[in-house]
Chain A
Amino acid sequence: MPIIVVEVMPKPELLDPAGKAVAGTLNRLGKGEFSGVRIGKRIELHVDGDVTDAVLADVRELADELLSNSVIEDVVSITVADEVTA
């Protein structure tokens, strides 16, 4: 079954509290080489049937309107994978 993977990240200029908390922990653990952490979302849509242009167009629209909020987030990628990984 094909899956469409949508990745969403918080906008770079906005505060990402989760990323900041993890960055603080890395720093405490002595991992100073990592100067920043940002945490986003990977969303897997399991597709019943073929991934047609129409389905992809649909996902692009959903990514903008439901899966992300363009005020605070960016859709950074929409890719198609052949197999369900998990």
Chain B
Amino acid sequence: MRVGVITFPGSLDDRDAQRAIRLAGAEPVALWHGEHDLHGVDAIVLPGGFSYGDYLRCGAIAARSPIMAEVIDAANAGMPVLGICNGFQILVESHLLPGGLIHNDHGNFICRDQKLRVENASTAWTNAFTDGQEITIPLKNGEGGYIANDETLDRLEGEGLVAFRYLDGNPNGSLRDIAGLTNARGNVVGLMPHPEHAVEPGFGPDTDIAMRSGIDGLAFFRSVLESSLSRA
């Protein structure tokens, strides 16, 4: 399986995402924002960072970059697309996921290991988890406050489209503790925390067993492999 990782000007977690894909057993493919070519990949990751300086609004300009036309078409045709942090903001600005992301309510950039509950384990990017599973992966952002109107929030909850919720304290004022979303089809998933930084023992969050041994993020990338094998 080939998983594309798009590099935008200002992306900074693209290499980590490529590494996570490799560790999960798939082949990472570097894609460039300025092209209209997905190079035949089977899935796409929009990585974290600060695309185009995040001018205007976070992810707003990246959402209109050349390659996003192909990404939006592919997502609408069912290709798995994962947006991490700035990638989540790009998905929201592309209207592939609803709502918006604003400055953290406390006004500070936050960087910490964050506990989450997997609320929907039947998406292309979460099927290696179980519903309700608690995981810990790093969170690092300044504008991670998820907002949407009440009607949208009620619909997301009612249709099971909240993919991840913050546990042990809301880190940024996100409404209903929402950390990540899926679309109805389950192929497009976006979240603020960073699974690609928790994929290898020695470099992940601390666990009860050992320092930096947390690899809860690996299951995101194994999930997409699994979903492609079950489709084949």
The chain A residues found within 8 Å of chain B, CB to CB, are: 17-18, 21-22, 24-25, 28-29, 39
Instruction: Pick out which of these stretches binds chain A: B50-58, B77-85, B188-196, B205-213.
Output: B50-58
- Our count of residue pairs bridging A and B at CB distance below 8 angstroms stands at 22
Q: A22-B55, A39-B56 are known contacts; what are 20 more A-B pairs with Cβ within 8 Å?
A: A17-B53, A17-B55, A18-B53, A18-B55, A18-B56, A21-B52, A21-B53, A21-B55, A21-B56, A21-B61, A22-B56, A22-B61, A24-B61, A25-B61, A25-B64, A28-B64, A28-B65, A28-B66, A29-B64, A39-B55
Which single residue of chain A is at the shortest CB-CB distance from B63? Answer: A25
Provide the main secondary structure of the chain A interface. helix
9 residue pairs, one from A and one from B, having the closest CB atoms? A18-B55, A21-B55, A25-B64, A21-B52, A25-B61, A21-B61, A22-B56, A17-B53, A21-B53
Between B56, B65, B66, the greatest number of chain A beta carbons within 10 A of the residue's beta carbon is seen for: B56
Q: Which of A25, A29, A39 has the most CB of B within 10 A?
A: A25
Give 6 A-B contacts (CB < 8 Å), ordered by A residue. A21-B61, A22-B56, A25-B61, A28-B65, A29-B64, A39-B56
Expressed in whole angstroms, the Cα–Cα distance for A85 and B24 within the complex equals 52
Interface centre among B52, B55, B61, B65 (most CB of A within 10 A): B55
Instruction: For chain B, give the interface size range.
Output: under 10
Chain A residues, CB < 8 A from B66 = 28
In whole angstroms, how far apart are the Cα atoms of A28 and B66 in the complex?
8
Interface residues of B (CB under 8 A from A): 52-53, 55-56, 61, 64-66
Please give me the residue from chain B that is nearest to A18 by CB atom: B55
Min C-beta distance of B58 to chain A, whole Å: 13
A17 — which chain B residues lie within 8 A by C-beta? Answer: 53, 55
Chain A residues whose CB sits within 8 angstroms of the CB of B61 once the complex forms: 21-22, 24-25
Q: Which residues of A contact B64 (CB under 8 A)?
A: 25, 28-29
What's the Cα separation between A39 and B60 when bound, in Å? 15
Contacts of A28 in B (CB 8 A): 64-66
User: Inside 8 A of A18's CB, which chain B residues have their CB?
Assistant: 53, 55-56
Query: Given the complex, which residues of A lie within 8 Å of B55, measured CB to CB?
Result: 17-18, 21-22, 39
Q: How far is the CB of B132 from chain A (nearest CB, A)?
A: 40
Q: Which chain B residue has the least Cβ–Cβ distance from A29?
A: B64
The answer for the CA separation of A30 and B65 in the assembled complex, in Å, is 13
Closest to A20 in B: B55
Name the residue of chain B whose CB is nearest to the CB of A16.
Answer: B55
Closest CB of chain A to B6's CB: distance in Å?
A: 16
Measured in the bound complex, the distance between the Cα atoms of B64 and A29 in whole Å is: 8
Complex: how many Å from CA A29 to CA B65? 9
Q: Give complex CA distance A25, B61 in Å.
A: 7
Smallest beta-carbon distance A15→chain B, Å: 12
In the complex, what residues of B have CB within 8 A of residue A24's CB?
61
B55 (CB) vs chain A CBs: closest residue: A18
Instruction: Give chain B nearest CB distance to A27 CB in angstroms.
Output: 11
* Contacting residues, chain A, for B52 (C-beta < 8 A): 21
